[in-house]
Chains A and B, each alone.
Chain A
Amino acid sequence: MTLDEIQAVFFQECEEGVAAAETALLALKAGDRDGETINTIFRAVHSIKGGAGAFAFAALQSFTHHFETLLDKVRDGELAVTPTLADLLMAAFDILVDHVAAAREGSTPPPDEAMVAALQDALAGDVAHAPASATGDGLSFDLAAMMADTLAVAEEASEWTLSFTPTREDLANGGEPLLLIREILSLGGRIERVDVSRLPTLDQFEADAAWLGWTIAIPGTVEESAICDVFDFVADPASVRLVRGEEDAGGASFDEPSSPIAPPAPVAPVATVAPPTMPSPSLATTPSAPSEPRAATTAPAMIRVDLEKLDRLVDLVGELVITQAMLSQRLSSHGMAAAEELADIDQLTRELQDSAMAIRAQPVKSVFSRVPRIVRELEASTGKRVMLEVEGEATELDKTVIERIGEPLTHLVRNCIDHGIELPADRVARGKPAEGRLRLAAEHKGSRIVISVSDDGAGIDRARVLAVAVERGIVAPDARLTDDEIDQLIFAPGFSTARTVSNISGRGVGMDVVRQNVQGLGGRISIQSMPGAGSTFALALPLTLAIVDGMIVRVADQTYIIPLTHVVESLRPETGAVQRTGFGTSVLNVRGAFLPVLSVAEQLHVRGGVTEPSEAVLIVVETENSGTAILMVDAIVDQRQVVIKSLETHYQQVDGVAGATILGDGHVALILDVEGIVALRGSMQWLKAS
């Protein structure tokens, strides 16, 4: 157990003692005159005094001594417990509590002269002068006794502050500064600070040189000669400095790292004053100079940063992630994949990335705050009445996502009010409140943020949607679609069911554009609709646009990334397990469900991939809008976090591809747009049916 740990145990004892004493004092005050009650108070104060002595809390020790002396008399029955005495004991107890707190926090002990005097008066049988408060004007105390006492306290209370900065010589000839520190700690010293400011960079580090400095507090009761003796062998007397009391030590230390933004506050230098005749053992001691107050380093709570700089940082962190991956690959090819430092760097890189992303994060409030006005405008122009509920405004999202989510969100809100919520008269006729309800919510769901827009309106008129879709040639007249599939139709390009093209929804921007925008952000949109009860549009958005956890797969000679969020499982089918159906599609029975099997090679028009399912690897993927499907690839190569590079910025948008990344070996790999690939197959099926 270290001294600090023992000290912690002591303060715990203090707490228990204080609690017990308080209970007993309250009983005493209430008229309890049981001997055990007084005993409890006495024992508590006594043990606090004992510990205070051991740990050199002089002020606490001195006060508990006076308190204890009086309690001892009361315990022995020499002093009768009167209500006045009980009040005095209670007041003394309050000061004791302050003393314990001061010792624990290392702060200035509370003023207790008046109380000490009152305790002494009470000891003499005179409790009439008990002060009302600790700072009361106790003029009737024994001044001489008090002076002697406070002087003793002052002398004892003042701790030694030792600073020790070994030099290279102290490490030579078998010297070991650590042993000196061990010796000082055995005298009751405790390390306050370790100065690491002189530590050089690794390439300049020399093992036989001394780089650290220690600041150690030593109880004032330890004799100066005992401390000096420890440093008898130290080569340079200037490397040891001993002063009474607090010292404003200069130099950087662990608890006060210098910040590049706020320069370290100027520190009052403590001169090493060498006495004219160097005493032996030679140790430079200085009188404790009143330390200059440190200039407060009040850093502003906020700083404005040019967005470009921030993006540059995020970009660089992205590059770092890639380089780290490359390094890891290079090292593992040399059999060093298990290097502990590698795992550390991996962890740090991820944390750095998260932190960088967090800087870009903003609450969705900035987008949500636009909605009330839109709702008011729509209320005015449509004659509908809408009550808006907003939830999760504080949810944070990447700034880019925030910026680009505004328009789709506005559109969804307009859509809900325009198509969803009915006119007040219609609502009342259907037994609903005249005022429609529109709910806007944002919440964290796993690695995504889900923003939902719900209304309690009419829901999607599926018969009408289907009729329009057939009319516009989007689906074949004889196509049999599930409710969900019909709901999805409103995202079909050029689809609009507004009976009259209102100036709200009918701006040529349909739900297809909303979906494109959301998908462009790596998000997914889904609908839940109940006829007569309303609809909910949910936007599942990535926390960040820059990174994705991906499964690295091979198809022919190409490498692709499947975002892990889509992956459910991977399997190897037995021969003949994958069955061909009509329209050139295949299905596999996975635990009772027939899932469509899509060859990635076929979807992306890559030649040379495995065509026989039994020789391929099948990956079951889940999509937001198109259900579960299976992607067929040649092999799974790896699984890792990849940085997304936009393909559109550098080339152009490609169907079935969400972006690109640079792998650890420097190769470029395309990130599959699983949602798009599976949806593509879905629409193809309908088209083929026609």
Chain B
Amino acid sequence: MSIQILTVDDSPSMRALLRAALTGEGYRVDEAEDGRSAMEWLASNRPALVITDINMPRLDGFGLIAEVRAQAQFNALPILVLTTESSPEKKARARAAGATGWIVKPFDPAKLAAAVRRVIH
């Protein structure tokens, strides 16, 4: 069984790009359109990785990370955030919120794959 990754983004095009890049690497991809539906999906699923956008309706990326980390079972779940800005301040904020790492948009499939490799076995 292939490795399961959850992508969370409100933009269908971005979700499709992620899906294409990740399935190309052999990963199995599930999608959620915002933080809230991601939490609902996580209630019954244990992915190997969550890749999430920051700006989303209902529950944003930081909110999602906070709720995920609040659950002991997800202590060690790697979470990568998609960010358009690569400023150290933004990164520091993402880390403080509990993100494992980040992917700068627009992403290059090879760099995405490398980033994923650095957080899942």
- Measured in the bound complex, the distance between the Cα atoms of B91 and A280 in whole Å is 11
A292 at the interface (CB under 8 A from B): no
- Measured in the bound complex, the distance between the Cα atoms of B113 and A229 in whole Å is 12
A173 at the interface (CB under 8 A from B): yes
A335 at the interface (CB under 8 A from B): no
**Closest B residue, CB atoms, query A186:** B117
Q: Are B114 and A280 in contact (CB under 8 A)?
A: no
A434 at the interface (CB under 8 A from B): no
Residue in B76, B98, B115, B118 whose Cβ sees the most chain A Cβ within 10 Å: B118
| Shortest distance between the CB of B83 and any CB in chain A (Å) | 12
B28 at the interface (CB under 8 A from A): no
- Measured in the bound complex, the distance between the Cα atoms of B111 and A483 in whole Å is 93
> Binary interface profile of A, 168-207, with partner B (CB < 8 Å = 1, else 0)?
0100111110011011000000000000000000000000
**Closest B residue, CB atoms, query A171:** B76
A282 at the interface (CB under 8 A from B): yes
Known: A183-B114, A229-B114, A232-B115. A280 touches B88 (CB 8 A): yes
Known: A180-B118, A280-B86. A175 touches B111 (CB 8 A): no
Interface of A is mostly: loop
Q: A233 to chain B: which residues have CB within 8 Å?
A: 100-102, 115, 118-119
- Measured in the bound complex, the distance between the Cα atoms of B120 and A174 in whole Å is 9
Q: Are B118 and A173 in contact (CB under 8 A)?
A: no
| Shortest distance between the CB of B25 and any CB in chain A (Å) | 14
| Shortest distance between the CB of B66 and any CB in chain A (Å) | 11
| Shortest distance between the CB of B29 and any CB in chain A (Å) | 18
Q: A176 to chain B: which residues have CB within 8 Å?
A: 78, 119, 121
**Closest B residue, CB atoms, query A175:** B100
Q: B75, B78, B95, B119: which contacts A235 (Cβ < 8 A)?
A: B95
Q: Are A179 and B95 in contact (CB under 8 A)?
A: no
| Shortest distance between the CB of B11 and any CB in chain A (Å) | 23
CB within 8 Å of A: which of B81-121? 86-88, 95, 98-102, 111, 114-115, 117-121
Q: B88, B100, B102, B111: which contacts A174 (Cβ < 8 A)?
A: B100
Residue in A169, A176, A182, A233 whose Cβ sees the most chain B Cβ within 10 Å: A233
CB within 8 Å of A: which of B4-30? none
Known: A180-B118, A183-B117, A235-B95. A173 touches B88 (CB 8 A): no
For the complex, count residues of B whose C-beta is within 8 A of A. 23
A210 at the interface (CB under 8 A from B): no
Q: A169, A179, A235, A282: which contacts B121 (Cβ < 8 A)?
A: A179
Q: Are B119 and A229 in contact (CB under 8 A)?
A: no
**Closest A residue, CB atoms, query B117:** A183
| Shortest distance between the CB of B112 and any CB in chain A (Å) | 12
Q: Are A232 and B117 in contact (CB under 8 A)?
A: no
Known: A173-B79, A233-B100, A233-B101. A179 touches B119 (CB 8 A): yes
Q: A179 to chain B: which residues have CB within 8 Å?
A: 117-121
- Measured in the bound complex, the distance between the Cα atoms of B75 and A591 in whole Å is 73
> Binary interface profile of B, 59-81, with partner A (CB < 8 Å = 1, else 0)?
00000000001000001111100
Q: A280 to chain B: which residues have CB within 8 Å?
A: 86-88
Q: A230 to chain B: which residues have CB within 8 Å?
A: 114, 118
- Measured in the bound complex, the distance between the Cα atoms of B99 and A183 in whole Å is 20
A124 at the interface (CB under 8 A from B): no
For the complex, count residues of A whose C-beta is within 8 A of B. 18
- Measured in the bound complex, the distance between the Cα atoms of B77 and A175 in whole Å is 8
- Measured in the bound complex, the distance between the Cα atoms of B48 and A176 in whole Å is 13
- Measured in the bound complex, the distance between the Cα atoms of B77 and A235 in whole Å is 17
Q: A229 to chain B: which residues have CB within 8 Å?
A: 111, 114
A278 at the interface (CB under 8 A from B): yes
- Measured in the bound complex, the distance between the Cα atoms of B98 and A182 in whole Å is 23
Q: B78 to chain A: which residues have CB within 8 Å?
A: 173-176
Q: B88 to chain A: which residues have CB within 8 Å?
A: 278, 280, 282
Q: A183 to chain B: which residues have CB within 8 Å?
A: 114, 117-118
Q: B101 to chain A: which residues have CB within 8 Å?
A: 175, 232-233
Q: A182 to chain B: which residues have CB within 8 Å?
A: 117
| Shortest distance between the CB of A177 and any CB in chain B (Å) | 10
Residue in A179, A182, A183, A282 whose Cβ sees the most chain B Cβ within 10 Å: A179
- Measured in the bound complex, the distance between the Cα atoms of B48 and A179 in whole Å is 14
CB within 8 Å of B: which of A254-304? 278, 280, 282
Q: B111 to chain A: which residues have CB within 8 Å?
A: 229
Q: Are B119 and A174 in contact (CB under 8 A)?
A: yes
Q: B87 to chain A: which residues have CB within 8 Å?
A: 280
| Shortest distance between the CB of A534 and any CB in chain B (Å) | 76
- Measured in the bound complex, the distance between the Cα atoms of B121 and A180 in whole Å is 11
Q: B115 to chain A: which residues have CB within 8 Å?
A: 232-233
Known: A174-B78, A175-B100. A169 touches B117 (CB 8 A): no
| Shortest distance between the CB of B70 and any CB in chain A (Å) | 13
**Closest B residue, CB atoms, query A281:** B86
**Closest B residue, CB atoms, query A176:** B119
Q: A173 to chain B: which residues have CB within 8 Å?
A: 69, 78-79, 95, 98-100
CB within 8 Å of B: which of A224-240? 229-230, 232-233, 235
| Shortest distance between the CB of B63 and any CB in chain A (Å) | 16
- Measured in the bound complex, the distance between the Cα atoms of B81 and A173 in whole Å is 12
Q: B69 to chain A: which residues have CB within 8 Å?
A: 173
Q: B99 to chain A: which residues have CB within 8 Å?
A: 173
Q: B100 to chain A: which residues have CB within 8 Å?
A: 173-175, 233
Q: Are A174 and B95 in contact (CB under 8 A)?
A: no
Q: Are A175 and B119 in contact (CB under 8 A)?
A: yes
| Shortest distance between the CB of B109 and any CB in chain A (Å) | 14
Pull 20 A–B residue pairs with CB atoms less than 8 Å apart, ordered by A.
A169-B95, A172-B98, A173-B78, A173-B79, A173-B98, A173-B100, A174-B76, A174-B77, A175-B100, A175-B119, A179-B119, A183-B118, A229-B111, A229-B114, A230-B114, A232-B101, A232-B102, A233-B101, A233-B118, A278-B88
Given pairs A173-B69, A174-B76, A232-B115, 9 additional interface contacts (CB within 8 A): A169-B95, A173-B78, A173-B99, A176-B78, A176-B121, A180-B118, A232-B102, A233-B100, A233-B115
Q: Which 9 A/B pairs are nearest by Cβ-Cβ distance?
A: A233-B101, A174-B78, A174-B100, A173-B100, A173-B98, A174-B76, A179-B118, A174-B77, A175-B100
